[in-house]
Amino acid sequence: MRLAFLFFLLPLLQAKTIRVATYNVALSQSGEGRLAALLRTGTNASAKRVAEVVQIVQPDVLLLNEFDYDANGTGATRMNDRFLNVSQNGRAAQNYPHRYVAISNTGIHSGFDLDNNGVIDSTPGDQNYGGDAFGFGEFPGKFAMAVFSKYPIDIEAIRTFEEILWKDMPGNLIPPGFYTADEQEVIRISSKSHWDVPIEILGTRFHFLVSHPTPPVFDGPEDRNGRRNHDEIRLWSDYLTPGSAGYLSGGLEEGERFVIAGDQNADPTKGDSVNAAINQLLDHPRVSGEFVPARTGETTASNRFNTATFRLRADYVLPSKEGFLIEDGAVYWPTKSEEGASLVTVSDHRLVYLDLKLVPLIDEVVQDLSVESFDRKLVFRWKAKSEASYRLEKATNLDLDTWIRLDEVEIEINENRATAIFSEPVDRSFFRIVAYYE
């Protein structure tokens, strides 16, 4: 036998496709607990419009920005049970049994005069109070966010980064001279929070990396919000970059799937963001940033990729290069007389989604491979995954791409151990194991 080389290739076919979306719904209210109260009866007009948009697009995993936080998650539960999972104008109800909410830095008072207006306002309810909070908000939990999923969430594995101090980010863009030394000891990077929410699907998972950086405006010549927006976006870049996430107590290991989602308040070419901040993610070697979702309604060359009425691309769904193939995506933005045009004006942002094909990663579907030769046979054995399907292929010349499916080779799987037996080749041969999700 002359077995020249054995390797693996995971073709992008027959894989499970999921739809992942982000939507800044602008449902934040004027007082703590008010959103949950408004959602109690299932009749709130704005929430019904949001729900109908979601029912039209039908995402499997969804991030809502500007959805106020309450400690019991009552608002998110009511949003699901009384709006999303109730048909709006005959649309198909969408049930999200798995949800996650957590505290947001918005409206959490710092104890300092963070906006440098000469007053430390510790009474919730107005902009002066919001300016002194860790993230702008007139009360705790305003402008927060919530994750809705049709697939299970690994609650125990969630990581949140709301308490990471801005000063602890190496090479940060804290505006020189604006914050006192004492203020720098408390001010946080996240204006809301950054969450790593693992979503379980087909016996594997992807990390839903969600956030909502502060707008790079509403400040002065020190550009504190523009600088913070840059570093909030950078946090995810550091999280994905080996050796750069020490201040986060470690980053996301290579080989893990992820999807970055949220209103990033940054356009790659326009607006007030600092140093084209979003390009820290769009150009990251682990991020698939080449596909740009386009608006579904009538567009022009200049607004085709905008996601908000203020004429910027601000909202993003960015998958990892490994483990996903982008099939499609769009900015849901019907215009004029198109169906749904009256719904989307509930917010100044539009829902953005991607259809992602879940592609097997070699380390999760083929483990402990061994190859033996005896009695003129090749025997392949490996630890398999019950959710995956497999086949064996052979080639005699890699340069000519001569792969042939060996459909006659039966792959037996017993207690997650796979065995494939092939008659010994008489010439130079190459083999690969193909794994896919159906």
Q: Report d(CA 51, CA 64) in Å as an integer.
A: 11
What single-letter amino acid sits at 126? D
Nearest alpha carbon to residue 194 among 102, 123, 287? 102
User: Yes or no: is domain 365-436 CATH 2.60.40?
Assistant: yes
Q: Report d(CA 159, CA 171) in Å as an integer.
A: 23
Condensed to tens digits (0 to 9), the pLDDT of residues 404-435 reads 999 999 999 999 999 999 987 667 788 899 88
Residues in the chain: 438
Domain ranges in the chain are 17-106+141-359, 365-436
Q: What is the pLDDT of residue 426?
A: 61
Q: Report d(CA 78, CA 64) in Å as an integer.
A: 14
Nearest alpha carbon to residue 27 among 89, 84, 88? 84
Average pLDDT over residues 150-170: 98
Condensed to tens digits (0 to 9), the pLDDT of residues 239-257 reads 999 999 999 999 999 999 9
Condensed to tens digits (0 to 9), the pLDDT of residues 365-416 reads 999 999 998 888 899 999 999 889 999 999 888 888 888 999 999 999 999 9
13 has a pLDDT exceeding 80:
no
Q: Percent of the chain at pLDDT above 70? A: 96
233 — phi, psi (to 5°)? -65, -40
Q: Report d(CA 139, CA 191) in Å as an integer.
A: 13
Model confidence at 16, pLDDT cuts 50, 70, 90, reads confident
The DSSP 8-state label assigned to residue 265 in this structure reads -
Query: Is the fold of 17-106+141-359 the same as that of 365-436?
Result: no
What does pLDDT average to over the chain?
Answer: 94
Output the CA–CA distances (angstroms, integers) from residue 310 to 137, 158, 315, 342, 353, in the order listed: 21, 33, 12, 18, 19
326 has a pLDDT exceeding 60:
yes
Question: Are 437 and 358 contacting, i.e. CB atoms less than 8 angstroms apart?
Answer: yes
User: Yes or no: is domain 17-106+141-359 CATH 3.60.10.10?
Assistant: yes
Q: What is the pLDDT of residue 400?
A: 81
279 has a pLDDT exceeding 90:
yes
What single-letter amino acid sits at 239? Y
What single-letter amino acid sits at 162? E
Nearest alpha carbon to residue 267 among 318, 212, 305, 321? 305
Model confidence at 14, pLDDT cuts 50, 70, 90, reads very low
Condensed to tens digits (0 to 9), the pLDDT of residues 106-125 reads 999 999 999 999 999 999 99
13-27, 127-141, 185-199: least confident range: 13-27
341 — phi, psi (to 5°)? -60, -35
Output the CA–CA distances (angstroms, integers) from residue 238 to 170, 241, 379, 398, 426, in the order listed: 10, 5, 43, 38, 51
